[in-house]
């Protein structure tokens, strides 16, 4: 999550859902929290009951809107314009929380004089390389602190997103202090003034033209947020994949982060940015990643172009100041956890046994590699890309080009059955007898059939215990990968090949339990937590050493098994403990519930107000204390000044709360870490029916387009054929279903609640296109044509943008041809086009057209549908 990482230092939600109940104003945007996070939504309802404003901003009126005190309808894909309007109104009217901004953000820092803004370059920042289609980011740095980017690092451009997601970017700061500052925030090149100029064109009137939100409401939104911020009050932002699934998604999150820093809402109760994750352990799957470009704890994966020495790697990726200054201890402890006795100082702790990345190896690149036969085999677990992938039709065809495919799931999903039950087979575009892929379906154990942990949306690690043994051949993921590794190691044993040492030297001795020889999940948790020199579980990452005497599978999880106790399994009721509920599960880092909570006190360590007190400095005791685990060096006084030569956290001042950042500040301006700009810019989605009214540069210049014959993009406004796709398409989820549907469409009691794919349209669009409620419609893009039932509803309403009426079509994406709840697959309609930082596809805004009736291919085969429009 580089949007949060680059702003605050850690790639996780800054707060926890229970704390939303303490908020005075909650803005839910890019999220349908009531539908997709119904259990956590109780805390939003609690805030509303206490009188908080709950503002939902969305293209559609959803179950979340129905629960909110206010609803603003905007055009899909225009969020940065609206948030930019809020930032502009705050800055033009002096509504910022001045003391917080001056001391806790980088507002005062002077930026390099070579930096040029989108204001100067018509929508581009300085450093743009039109040939490579990427930025040289050196001119975005703090003045006199230029970070030289080596050739190798520049080539990594496309792979660094998640690597930058967890702070550590301020690598070259000495003493934790930027070289030049203007505390008065008046220097023309200080961040505050740059920000003010950058957003000055986002006037309420311009925002109305871009978003469809009336100018008066833009002002109302900014005023309402400002009125509910400051010493006595706090506002929170809640977002989910409605923000991340755009070609400029990371910058959506940056926009909210900037608002929250300007209004002083980060690190305080009822404030923050609540990132709601897509499903149960998505946070966990980036902490201990299923991604190709980071190692556990957001340590970058080494790149093939780099100087291959451990020293060089540690030098590049550890920071002078802040807790990333201890990066060598995190990394060497990780290598010790993986290679144990074989990892010695002499062999660089087996650093050269880590794989190296050579390019962008993210999910969509893998799909194209399958098409191009560079990827021969695929193990697909916990995912149903035949339904869930953008341009799912292309993905299904790509699977037909594989030599082999392994699918692990509870049900024979669309991915497992693509070779005989798919739209391509039905339409005759693929024939089973022509598909050479050898497909293995391995039944998976459900969560009730195995022990393990979830790391949820608020960094909370929660343990689940096995209730019953898995049936038949069903096995857990842990069982599968452990025994797969065991068998591979047996087959390689005796190999003298150097390339096999990485596998053969791994620590792989997990105890197994029961008849099926299930590996002990708790033994894995203990390995993740880490062991000290005495072989006992350690309690905190500050105990880790860079001399090989400690081991740790993921430094941010240190403490989850402190003292040999499974902290994640704690379930003390909230009624029996303080507000932060520290004994319910365990949250990384160090069981903190609100991150950067040093900021809940003023720079002298005093709470900003009694009403909003959370963590403060106790001068008598000489330590930070309060309602939560202080996110600060516990005995560092607020007036601490780092002496010369201080390193890591000791190099930051006592009044700088963002302890993962090299300068201890929240970043209004991100001098590094993001590949598409130091500040958010309104760019149109890759497919959009209007021009960019602000700049000549239409869409995010760095977006990944992956143009291929089967991945065409709809013509943009002004291009030939743009009028073929006059409507905006947005996709989403329903409470009743889960992502690709493997866990819901195959379950009768869920499937009957939303049994068929439908599209939601306004009565106005229905009249324009002759669509009948309950009838059929065909929705088309340049990728595909699908059919769906029609739901005509006032919850959809056209917006007026750029002086014209624009219709939006909504579709839940869960459906496929199998299970009890069936339908065509809306993801077939979407292009593979991605955000450049994190390679997330743009599924929330595209263009399409819609007409009444069923899709042509199906109508031909089945004859006309009786009664269909």
Partner 1 sequence: MARFETESRPAGYDGAARERVGFFTDTSVCIGCKACEVACKEWNLLPEDGFVFTAESYDNTGALGSETWRHVAFIEQDVPLIQTAGDGDDGNPMRWLMSSDVCKHCTSAACLNVCPTGALFRTELGTVVVQDDICNGCGMCVPACPFGVIARRERDGDGRAWKCTLCYDRTKDGLTPACAAACPTESIQYGPLDELRGRAAQRLESVQQQGFAGARLYGEDPEDGVDGFGAFFLLLDEPQVYGLPPDPVDPTKRLGEMWGAAAAAGAALALGVAASLLGRRG
Catalog residues that contact partner 1 under the rule CB under 8 A.
34-35, 38-39, 41-42, 45, 49, 51, 55, 61, 63, 65-67, 69-73, 213-214, 216-217, 220-221, 224, 734-736, 748-756, 758, 773-774, 789-791, 793-795, 797, 820-821
Q: Toward partner 1, which CB reaches closer, 280 or 722?
A: 280
Q: Could you give the dihedral angle defined by the CA atoms of residues 116, 679, 642 and 590, in that order, rounded to the nearest 10 degrees?
A: -160
Q: Toward partner 1, which CB reaches closer, 259 or 261?
A: 259
Least distance from C-beta 42 to partner 1, angstroms?
Answer: 5
Q: Toward partner 1, which CB reaches closer, 70 or 98?
A: 70
Q: Toward partner 1, which CB reaches closer, 316 or 791?
A: 791
Please name the residue that has the structure tokens 């009664």: 867
Measure the CA–CA gap between 74 and 76, rounded to whole angstroms.
6
Instruction: Report the run of H or E that residue 520 belongs to, with start and end.
Output: none
Q: Toward partner 1, which CB reaches closer, 109 or 850?
A: 850
CA dihedral sign, ordered 241, 247, 252, 253: positive
Tokens of 558: 């240190």
Q: Toward partner 1, which CB reaches closer, 164 or 750?
A: 750
Q: Toward partner 1, which CB reaches closer, 714 or 744?
A: 744
Least distance from C-beta 48 to partner 1, angstroms?
Answer: 8
Measure the CA–CA gap between 214 and 70, rounded to whole angstroms.
14
CA angle 148, 150, 156 (to 5 degrees): 115
Q: Which long-range contacts (CB under 8 A, 24 or more apart) does 179-182 make?
A: 179/110, 179/142, 179/143, 179/144, 179/145, 180/109, 180/110, 180/142, 180/143, 180/144, 181/108, 181/109, 181/110, 182/108, 182/110
CA distances from 389 to 244, 373, 385, 604 (A): 15, 19, 5, 50
Q: Toward partner 1, which CB reaches closer, 217 or 333?
A: 217
DSSP 182-244: -TTS-STTBHHHHHHHHTTT--HHHHHHHH---HHHHHHHHHHHHHT-SSS--EEEEE-HHHH
Contacts of 576 (CB under 8 A, 6+ apart): none
Strand partners, 177: none
Q: Toward partner 1, which CB reaches closer, 675 or 799?
A: 799
Q: Toward partner 1, which CB reaches closer, 61 or 669?
A: 61
CA distances from 578 to 233, 299, 340, 572, 793 (A): 21, 34, 40, 11, 45
Least distance from C-beta 860 to partner 1, angstroms?
Answer: 23
Measure the CA–CA gap between 78 and 207, rounded to whole angstroms.
9
Helix locations, 462-563, DSSP H: 477-492, 501-504, 521-529
Measure the CA–CA gap between 695 and 208, rounded to whole angstroms.
16
Q: Toward partner 1, which CB reaches closer, 739 or 793?
A: 793
Exposed/middle/buried for 101, CB within 10 Å: 0-12, 13-18, 19+? buried
Least distance from C-beta 539 to partner 1, angstroms?
Answer: 34
CA dihedral sign, ordered 135, 136, 141, 147: positive
Q: Toward partner 1, which CB reaches closer, 41 or 658?
A: 41
Helix locations, 411-498, DSSP H: 423-427, 477-492
Q: Toward partner 1, which CB reaches closer, 542 or 735?
A: 735
Q: Toward partner 1, which CB reaches closer, 32 or 423?
A: 32
CA distances from 701 to 66, 134, 686 (A): 37, 8, 10
Q: Toward partner 1, which CB reaches closer, 139 or 762?
A: 762
Q: Toward partner 1, which CB reaches closer, 215 or 380?
A: 215
Please name the residue that has the structure tokens 């703090």: 142
Measure the CA–CA gap between 680 and 663, rounded to whole angstroms.
21
Least distance from C-beta 53 to partner 1, angstroms?
Answer: 8
Measure the CA–CA gap between 53 and 719, rounded to whole angstroms.
43
Least distance from C-beta 26 to partner 1, angstroms?
Answer: 14
Least distance from C-beta 25 to partner 1, angstroms?
Answer: 11
Please name the residue that has the structure tokens 């690598």: 171
Strand partners, 105: 666
CA dihedral sign, ordered 333, 334, 340, 341: negative
Least distance from C-beta 51 to partner 1, angstroms?
Answer: 8
> Which 3 state secondary structure label does DSSP give 135?
strand
Q: Toward partner 1, which CB reaches closer, 149 or 791?
A: 791
Strand partners, 607: 601
Measure the CA–CA gap between 769 and 779, rounded to whole angstroms.
12
What is the 3 state secondary structure string of 741-752? Answer: CCCCCCCHHHHC
The verdict on whether omega for the bond into residue 589 sits within 30 degrees of 0, i.e. cis, is yes
Least distance from C-beta 224 to partner 1, angstroms?
Answer: 7
> Which 3 state secondary structure label does DSSP give 529?
helix
Instruction: Report the run of H or E that residue 455 belongs to, with start and end.
Output: strand 452-455
Please name the residue that has the structure tokens 């990968």: 481
Q: Toward partner 1, which CB reaches closer, 219 or 722?
A: 219
Tokens of 133: 């289609």
């Amino acid at each position: 999550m580089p949007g949060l990482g680059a702003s605050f230092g850690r790639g996780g939600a800054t707060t926890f859902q229970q704390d939303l109940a303490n908020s005075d104003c909650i803005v839910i945007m890019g999220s349908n929290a009531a539908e997709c996070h119904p259990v956590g939504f109780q805390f939003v309802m609690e805030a509303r009951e206490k009188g908080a404003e709950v503002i939902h901003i969305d293209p559609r009126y959803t179950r979340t809107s129905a629960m909110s005190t206010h609803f603003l309808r905007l055009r899909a894909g225009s969020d940065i314009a609206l948030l930019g309007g809020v930032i502009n109104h705050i800055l033009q009217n002096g509504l910022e929380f001045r003391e917080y901004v001056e001391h806790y953000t980088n507002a005062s820092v002077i930026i390099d004089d070579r930096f040029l803004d989108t204001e100067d370059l018509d929508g581009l920042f300085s450093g743009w390389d039109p040939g490579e289609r990427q930025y040289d980011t050196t001119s975005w740095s703090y003045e006199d602190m230029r970070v030289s980017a080596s050739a190798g690092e520049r080539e990594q451009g496309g792979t660094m997103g998640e690597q930058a997601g967890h702070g550590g970017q301020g690598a070259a700061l000495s003493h934790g202090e930027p070289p030049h500052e203007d505390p008065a925030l008046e220097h023309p090149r200080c961040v505050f003034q740059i920000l003010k100029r950058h957003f000055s064109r986002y006037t309420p009137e311009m925002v109305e033209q871009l978003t469809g939100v009336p100018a008066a409401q833009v002002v109302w939104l900014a005023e309402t947020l400002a009125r509910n911020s400051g010493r006595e009050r706090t506002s929170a932002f809640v977002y989910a994949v409605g923000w991340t699934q755009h070609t400029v998604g990371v910058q959506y999150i940056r926009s909210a982060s900037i608002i929250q820093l300007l209004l002083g809402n980060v690190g305080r109760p009822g404030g923050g940015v609540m990132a709601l994750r897509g499903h149960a352990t998505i946070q966990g799957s980036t902490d201990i990643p299923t991604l190709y470009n980071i190692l556990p704890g957001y340590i970058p994966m080494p790149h093939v172009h780099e100087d291959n020495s451990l020293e060089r790697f540690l030098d590049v990726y550890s920071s002078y100041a802040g807790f990333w200054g201890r990066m060598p201890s995190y990394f060497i402890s990780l290598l010790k956890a993986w290679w144990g006795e074989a990892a010695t100082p002499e062999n660089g702790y087996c650093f050269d046994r880590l794989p190296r990345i050579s390019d962008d190896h993210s999910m969509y690149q893998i799909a194209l590699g399958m098409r191009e036969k560079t990827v021969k085999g695929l193990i697909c677990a916990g995912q149903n890309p035949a339904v869930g992938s953008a341009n799912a039709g292309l993905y299904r065809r790509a699977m037909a080009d594989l030599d082999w495919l392994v699918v692990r799931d509870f049900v024979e999903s669309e991915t497992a059955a693509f070779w005989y039950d798919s739209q391509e087979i039905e339409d005759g575009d693929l024939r089973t007898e022509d598909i050479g892929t050898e497909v293995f379906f391995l039944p998976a154990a459900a969560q009730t059939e195995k022990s393990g942990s979830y790391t949820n949306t608020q960094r909370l690690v929660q343990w689940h215990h096995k209730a019953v043994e898995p049936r038949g051949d069903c096995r857990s993921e842990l069982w599968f990968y452990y025994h797969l590794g065991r068998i591979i190691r047996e087959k390689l044993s005796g190999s003298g090949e150097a390339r096999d040492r990485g596998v053969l030297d791994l620590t792989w001795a997990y105890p197994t339990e029961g008849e099926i020889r299930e590996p002990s999940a708790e033994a894995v948790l203990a390995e993740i937590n880490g062991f000290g020199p005495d072989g006992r579980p350690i309690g905190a990452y500050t105990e880790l050493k860079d001399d090989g005497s400690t081991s740790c599978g993921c430094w941010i999880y240190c403490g989850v098994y402190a003292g040999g106790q499974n902290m994640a399994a704690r379930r003390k009721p909230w009624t029996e403990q303080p507000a932060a509920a520290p004994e319910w599960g365990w949250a990384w880092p160090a069981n903190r519930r609100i991150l950067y909570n040093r900021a809940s006190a003023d720079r002298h360590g005093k709470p900003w107000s009694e009403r909003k007190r959370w963590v403060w400095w106790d001068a008598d005791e000489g330590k930070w204390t309060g309602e939560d685990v202080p996110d600060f060096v516990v005995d560092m006084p607020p007036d601490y000044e780092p002496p010369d030569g201080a390193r890591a956290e000791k190099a930051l001042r006592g009044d700088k709360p963002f302890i993962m950042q090299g300068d201890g500040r929240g970043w209004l301006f991100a001098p590094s870490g993001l590949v598409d700009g130091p500040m958010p810019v309104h760019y149109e989605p890759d497919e959009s029916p209007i021009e960019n009214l602000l700049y000549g540069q239409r869409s995010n210049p760095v977006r990944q387009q992956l143009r291929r014959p089967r991945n065409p993009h709809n013509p943009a406004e002004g291009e030939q054929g743009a009028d073929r796709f006059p409507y905006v398409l947005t996709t989403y989820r329903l409470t009743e279903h889960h992502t690709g549907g493997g866990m819901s469409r195959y379950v009768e009691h869920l499937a009957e609640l939303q049994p068929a794919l439908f599209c939601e349209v306004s009565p106005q669009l229905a009249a324009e296109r002759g669509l009948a409620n309950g009838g059929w419609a065909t929705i088309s893009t340049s990728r595909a044509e699908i059919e769906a039932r029609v739901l005509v509803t006032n919850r959809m309403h056209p917006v007026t943008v750029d002086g014209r009426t624009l219709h939006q079509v909504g579709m839940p994406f869960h459906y496929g041809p199998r299970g009890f709840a069936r339908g065509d697959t809306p993801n077939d309609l979407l292009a593979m086009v991605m955000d450049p930082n994190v390679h997330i596809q743009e599924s929330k805004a595209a263009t399409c057209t819609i007409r009444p009736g069923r899709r042509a291919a199906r109508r031909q085969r089945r004859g006309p549908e009786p009664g269909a429009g």
